[in-house]
Amino acid sequence: MGKITWCSDFCVGVAEIDAQHERLVSMVNELFRAYMLGREKDVLSDIITGLSDYTAYHFSTEERLMDEHAYPATAEHRLEHREFIDRSIDFLLAYTSSNQEQNLAPVVLDYLEDWLLKHIRGTDVELGEFLRDKGVQ
């Protein structure tokens, strides 16, 4: 668990997606900073909720582009999104109902960092290549 430094490895070559990825990384870093500064549980919950909402918005952008351009791996990509959303909801519910938020926050941060980086560098890079081949910039 640590601050994520934005780098070119996270770029998929589609401006709209890249801007959203950069915002997601920034939001994960905001959560990390708040946790490290010992912010109140409600502050961390608000950040997690905002991150969850923005992630849903981002996924809808990717899914719209997949649909518009008949991406052949749409079903698999959507499944990854759904699994992430389901896991995030589980974390948020556990976090808001737990008295162990200081123990749970690092688990949430580790998951977010690991999933986001793997998804961007893997599945989203493949999507970006496909979209660029279709002329999407």
Q: What is the model's pLDDT at position 103?
A: 66
Do residues 84 and 58 make contact, with C-beta atoms less than 8 angstroms apart? no
Q: What is the model's pLDDT at position 33?
A: 92
Q: Is pLDDT at 101 greater than 70 in this prediction?
A: no
* Greater model confidence, 6 or 101: 6
Do residues 44 and 60 make contact, with C-beta atoms less than 8 angstroms apart? no
Q: What's the pTM value of the predicted model, to 2 decimals?
A: 0.90
Do residues 58 and 125 make contact, with C-beta atoms less than 8 angstroms apart? no
The CATH number of 13-133, from 1.20.120.50, 3.40.190.10, 3.40.50.720, 1.10.10.10, is: 1.20.120.50
Domain ranges of the chain: 13-133
